[in-house]
Every structure is written in structure tokens, then in C-alpha cells.
Amino acid sequence: MLWELIRAGLIALQDYIALHVVTCLIPAFLLAGAMVTFVSKETIIYYLGAAAQKLKAFALAAGGSFFVAACSCTVIPVSSGLYYAGAAIGAAFIVLWVAPAANILALTYTGAILGSTMVLARIFAALVMAFVVGWVMTVVFRREEQARLQPVAAPSNPGQATAPTHLMGRADVILLILLVISLLAPNYLAQKGPYWAKVLVWGIATIIVFIYAFWAKPKEELKRWMGETWWFVRLIFPLLLVGVFVVGVIGKLLPEEWVRTALGGSSVSASFLATILGSVSYFATMTEAPFVDTLMKLGMGPGPALALLLTGPGLSLPNWLAIARVFGVKKAIVYVVTIIILGTLVGWFAGNFLF
């Protein structure tokens, strides 16, 4: 029995990792590293703290989160730092939600495993949820916000005397676009073809990326880029290996019938169960995709699957506690409850009207 389980875990590892390392993980890690290196986080955060208009701050928070933190361990300090630096509470919680729920690494991997429809649904749902969460936090805590933000009419930033205007250079934009292409080309262009075709497409695209990088960027920056990329590999790859192994074992342990009755279809209760499951348990970035894939093969409905994809990495019990410690218990409760309600609704809606 034990051997059977270990074997199931190893097979899962072989399936996911072997098929995704070259054409999906490597370009995704390179892209994440490039974003950290070439996109000026300081600029995004400066404007986020300064944006006076609510809508503008919300849009900036949601959009910027794709770039700011691709790693869940950094998002709580980013969000609390923004909050205490004078950003509106809505914007701070949007960052807290979008960065783990829809970051570039997780989205790529979701696409490679679950297909483009699921990715688009995930992006769209994460953004809609982000705006609702931002709005709810703003409305619920509006009195407190007024008192908090009044003394600092203009958010002062002692560390930065002048506003940073540089977001990224033209060469950086081109390089990032090339990287995105090298990521999408093998997984979408050569989706139907044999595996070697994918690798070939990936190889050509990657060579182009590096030729351009060497031509357009100074050596020093390329070194930093590789350094940041290596960090992502070191942080996320081991977690991914463990995660996929555990997913393989769980897939073997879970009775198919149980999954089909509890999480199948697109009822509100299935969606709610998936949301709770995702909100409580901790998923390292990217591990949620193979987990959901396994559950779907066992009979989970696409609606609940979407709910789990969103709340899995977005929320977890340790995450609740950290949020409560930094923002206070009341805000943590409002946030968590809002996300659970929204997750359930999104899962139900997507299951009934989208898929």
C-alpha cells in the first residue's frame, strides 16, 4: 500500500515536471526574474501610495500586483508597508489578494496544465474579486480611514525626495515581450504537436531572447537578472516538487466517488467547499494547478476548480494569522469572509454560465 502511494507520487512528478520544466517552467522563471530586475517596483509603489483617486489606485494596485510580487512570502510586507505608508486600505488589500491569486508564474503554469480558458477565467475572476474586496474594505472601514489619512494629507515619503518617473526602458519592454512570446509560443503554438516540436519552438524563441538581451542590455543587469531568476528557482522549484508529489499521493488516496459528489457539478455547495478548502490550506505558488488538475480528473467541476485555484494560493490559515497581526483582527475577518463569499459566488457563476 505504501509503495503504491509512493509510486503514484513519483508518476505524478514524472508527468508534470518532465513535461513542463523546459517549455514552461524555465521561461516562466526567466520572465519572473526579468520582471523583478527590469521593472521598477519603487515607481509602482510610489504611485500606488500617492494615487489620490480611488479608482486609479485600485487599478494600479491590481495591475501592479502582476509585477510586484511573484512570491507569496513577500506580499504581506508589501501590502502592510503600502498601508502604513499612506495608501488607501482598499488598494493595500487588492495587492494582498491579486499578487498571490494571479501572479505571472502561477498563471503560466495554470495555462500549461489546465488550458487557456481556465487561465482567462482565473485572471478575470481575480480582478473582479480584487475590485469588490477593495470596495468592501473601503466602505466598511471608511470612518477609520478618514481619521487615519487626515493628518497626512499628502503622503510624504521621506526616503524619496523626488518622484521616480522611470518604470522601465524601451529595451526592457522589448525583452519582456520576447520573454512572454518564448513562454506562450511552445505552449500554445505547438500545443497539439509532439513534445519535441514544443522544445524546438522553445529553443528558437529562447535563443532570440538571449541574442537580444546580450545586444541590448549591459552585462551587469544580465547578471542581476540571472541572479533573480535563480532565486525563483531555488524558492519555488523544491516546493513545486514536494507539492506535485503530495498531489499524486492524495489523488491515489481520495475516493473518486467522494470527489464527484462533494465537488462535482457547479452547485453552490460544491463551490463553497472548494473555496473553504482553498482558503484554509496553504498552497505554495504554482502547486495549486496540479492539485486542481488531479481533482478535476477525479470528477471536480470546473466552477469549484476555479474557486480553488483562486483561494488556494490567495488565502491560507497562516496567511489569516499574519494579516490579523499586521492589520488587526477586524480587518482580517472582513477580508477573509469577503473572499470566501466571493470565491463561492465566482465558482458557482463560472460553473453555470462560463464553462
Q: Does 80 bind other proteins (CB under 8 A)?
A: yes
Q: Does 328 bind other proteins (CB under 8 A)?
A: no
Residue from 83, 93, 109, 141 in contact with other proteins (CB under 8 A): 83
Residue from 5, 104, 322, 354 in contact with other proteins (CB under 8 A): 322
- Size of the chain in residues: 355
Cβ nearer to other proteins, comparing 307 with 323: 323
Q: What CA–CA distance (Å, rounded) separates 224 from 72? A: 21
Of residues 54-73, those binding other proteins (CB under 8 A): 71, 73
The 165-204 site mask, x for binding other proteins (CB under 8 A), equals ----------------------------------------
Q: Does 159 bind other proteins (CB under 8 A)?
A: yes
The 246-285 site mask, x for binding other proteins (CB under 8 A), equals ----------------------------------------
The 213-252 site mask, x for binding other proteins (CB under 8 A), equals -----------x--xx--x--xx-----------------
The 38-57 site mask, x for binding other proteins (CB under 8 A), equals ---xx--x------------
Of residues 293-312, those binding other proteins (CB under 8 A): none
User: Which chain residues interact with other proteins by CB under 8 A?
Assistant: 36, 41-42, 45, 71, 73-74, 76-78, 80-85, 157-159, 224, 227-228, 231, 234-235, 322, 325-326
